[in-house]
Amino acid sequence: MFDDFNTSKGYRIKSVAKFTGLSAHTIRKWEERYQLLTPIRSANGYRLYFEDDIQLLMYLNSQIGSGNTIGHLVKIGSPQLRHEMKEGPIQVVGLPGTHHDKAMTLIQAARRLDRSLAESIIQTLVDRLGLERAIQQIFFPVLKAIGELWHHGQISITGEHIASQGIRRHLVKSLPKRSITQGQRVVIACGPQDFHEFGAMAATLVLRNNGWQPIYLGTDSGIDMIRIACKRRMAGLIIISIVREPSKVEFTKILKQITKRLLPLCPVIVGGQGAAGFKREMEQSGITYFQEFNQIKTLKPQTIDHTHSLFGIPS
């Protein structure tokens, strides 16, 4: 989602266009011609939009994509549209059958900005299942569903953060305070300019529990930083999470750096939805792409032979 979004201040139209994927022209038209938005003006005259405005734009775009016309939405009016986007019925798919009710209640609590209830449900699920099982069986599907709701304008950025940050706190507490000294070493990092660390932190937890010695570098890790960590710690595997979708030019640059700087050291696995569109290019470069998080559990620590054929990774 949007880790760099600050709900306490307004955003200019260029940033709003980036968040929503709508053009600045469309946003201005929906404001000036249809009066669906009423941004405030800054001291220097710039339009400033806030969280509710961003959510409404996402909701309008989703409604139009579902067959509604802007004319029909204008007749409904901004107040009613804002009520529907926050309180209207939602369709959620992909939740697990087991603990479905708890998962759905967590989503509704986040949507209604009920932080206390959301945190209580998260704690209950962690206590009942253990953190690793809760993440794989429930929290990943929940966060995916919340992401879909965001794209349809049916949950706010604050609501998404209530769920994701509540789960993240448990992950942070689970990471060892001291370095683990046993097991095959693996470097785990979020890619350049990527600040979405939930998947990378979850991978760190799972690999640690499966006998690895994970070295987690955190968000926005440059390729040279990853290379240095790999060499200094003599790691036998590198895992890079790419959730933010880079442009083709950006990814081509990252791919070249990985091929030149990292692959000579050890095998590299890339995971995350941001890299999904570049699977073929990665395979051609000798980089393995993990489409599903559960593939992490197939990795078994063993002696590194640097042939890139271990763990089922093709050379």
- Decide: residue 225, CB within 10 A, 0-12 exposed, 13-18 middle, 19+ buried: middle
Query: In which band, very low, low, confident or very high, does the pLDDT at 26 lie, cut at 50, 70 and 90?
Result: very high
pLDDT at residue number 301: 82
Instruction: Supply the DSSP symbol for 127.
Output: H
92 is a domain residue = no
CATH code assigned at 138: 1.10.1240.10
117 and 77 in one domain?
no
227 and 170 in one domain?
no
28-81 pLDDT tens trace? 999 999 999 999 998 888 999 999 999 999 999 999 999 999 999 999 999 999
77 is a domain residue = yes
pLDDT at 249 over 80: yes
158 is a domain residue = yes
Place of tokens 């009710």: 101
User: Amino acid identity, residue 11?
Assistant: Y
pLDDT at residue number 181: 62
CB 263 within 8 A of CB 229: no
DSSP string, 50-111: -HHHHHHHHHHHHHHHTT--HHHHHHH-HHHHHHHHHHS--------STTHHHHHHHHHHHH
Segment 88-116 shows an average pLDDT of 94
Considering only residues 268 and 245, tell me which one the structure prediction assigns the higher pLDDT.
Answer: 268
CB 78 within 8 A of CB 36: yes
258 and 218 in one domain?
yes
pLDDT at residue number 180: 59
277 and 167 in one domain?
no
Range of the domain at 202: 185-312
Segment 92-116 shows an average pLDDT of 95
CB 113 within 8 A of CB 97: no
Q: How far apart are CA 32 and CA 47, in angstroms?
A: 12
Beta strands in the chain (DSSP E): 40-41, 47-48, 185-190, 213-216, 237-241, 268-271, 288-290
CB 302 within 8 A of CB 184: yes
Q: Per the structure, how many domains does the chain have?
A: 3
20 and 113 in one domain?
no
pLDDT at residue number 45: 87
- Nearest-10 Cα torsion for 127, 129, 133, 134: -60
CB 103 within 8 A of CB 95: yes
Question: Which of 123, 143, 174 is where one domain is finished?
Answer: 174
1 is a domain residue = no
Query: In which band, very low, low, confident or very high, does the pLDDT at 5 lie, cut at 50, 70 and 90?
Result: low
pLDDT at 186 over 60: yes
Tokens coding 262: 């990292």
pLDDT at 233 over 50: yes
157 is a domain residue = yes
292 and 206 in one domain?
yes
180 is a domain residue = no
Segment 244-270 shows an average pLDDT of 95
140 and 168 in one domain?
yes
CATH code assigned at 252: 3.40.50.280
94 is a domain residue = no
Question: Which of 155, 174, 193 is where one domain is finished?
Answer: 174
195 and 161 in one domain?
no
87 is a domain residue = no
CB 210 within 8 A of CB 185: no
